[in-house]
Chains A and B, each alone.
Chain A
Amino acid sequence: METEIQISPLGENVDIKTLFSSFRETLDQHYDRKERIIKQSRDITGLSKKLIFLAHRATQKSLNSILEEAETKKKEILKLFQQVSCELEGLNYYRYHKSISPAIQEYIEAISFLEYLEHNRLISKDSVDSNFKDRSDKQFLQVLDEDYILGIADLTGELMRYAINCVGKGDHDCALQVCQFLRSLMINYDLLKVPGKSPLSRKLEGMKSNLAKVEEACYALTIRGSEYPKEFYQHIVSEHAKHCDSMEVDE
Chain B
Amino acid sequence: MSFDLTIFKQIEASMEEVSLRKDEIFRCVRDYEKTCRYITAILNRVHSASANEVPGIAQEALEQFSRIKQHLADLSKIVPYQQFYRYNDLWSRTIQTSLYLAEFAVYLSSEKLISPEELENLCGVKINLNDDLQDFHITVEDFLHSFVTLSNELSRLAVNSVTAGDYNRPLRISKFVKELYTGFQLLNLKNDSLRKRFDAIKYHIKKIEEVVYDVSLRKLSGSTNVPMAEHPIHE
Which residues of B in the span 117-137 have a Cβ within 8 Å of any Cβ on A?
A: 117-118, 128-131, 133-134
Residues B116 and A5 in contact, CB atoms below 8 Å apart:
yes
Given contacts A5-B115, A23-B144, contact A91 B110 (CB under 8 A): no
- A residues near B223, Cβ cutoff 8 Å: none
- A residues near B115, Cβ cutoff 8 Å: 5-8, 12, 14, 19
Tell me if B45 is interfacial: C-beta within 8 Å of chain A.
no
Interface size class of A (residues with CB under 8 A): 35 or more
Q: What is the total number of residues of chain B having a CB less than 8 Å from a CB of chain A?
A: 49
Tell me if B215 is interfacial: C-beta within 8 Å of chain A.
no
User: Dominant SS at the B interface?
Assistant: helix
Given contacts A14-B112, A19-B116, contact A3 B130 (CB under 8 A): yes
Residues B183 and A17 in contact, CB atoms below 8 Å apart:
yes
| Shortest beta-carbon distance from A175 to chain B in Å | 14
| Shortest beta-carbon distance from B20 to chain A in Å | 12
Tell me if B188 is interfacial: C-beta within 8 Å of chain A.
yes
CA distance A250 to B10 in the complex (A): 59
| Shortest beta-carbon distance from B105 to chain A in Å | 10
CA distance A91 to B82 in the complex (A): 4
Tell me if A95 is interfacial: C-beta within 8 Å of chain B.
yes
Which residues of B in the span 126-184 have a Cβ within 8 Å of any Cβ on A?
A: 128-131, 133-134, 140-141, 143-144, 179-180, 182-184
The proximity string for B residues 3-20 relative to A, scoring 1 for CB distances below 8 Å and 0 otherwise, is 111011011101110010
Tell me if B229 is interfacial: C-beta within 8 Å of chain A.
no
Q: Which of B2, B106, B144, B186 contacts A10 (CB 8 A)?
A: B106
Given contacts A26-B140, A145-B15, contact A188 B110 (CB under 8 A): no
Residues A20 and B112 in contact, CB atoms below 8 Å apart:
no
A-binding segment of B32-40, B65-73, B83-91, B93-101: B83-91
- B residues near A31, Cβ cutoff 8 Å: 188, 190
Given contacts A13-B112, A16-B113, A184-B2, contact A24 B133 (CB under 8 A): no
Q: Which residues of A contact B (CB under 8 A)?
A: 1, 3, 5-8, 10-14, 16-17, 19-24, 26-31, 90-95, 97, 120-122, 124-125, 145-146, 148-149, 177, 180-181, 184, 188, 191-193, 195
What are 15 inter-chain pairs, A to B, with CB distance below 8 A? Answer: A3-B130, A10-B109, A12-B112, A19-B183, A23-B140, A23-B143, A26-B131, A27-B141, A28-B188, A94-B84, A122-B3, A125-B11, A146-B11, A177-B1, A193-B16
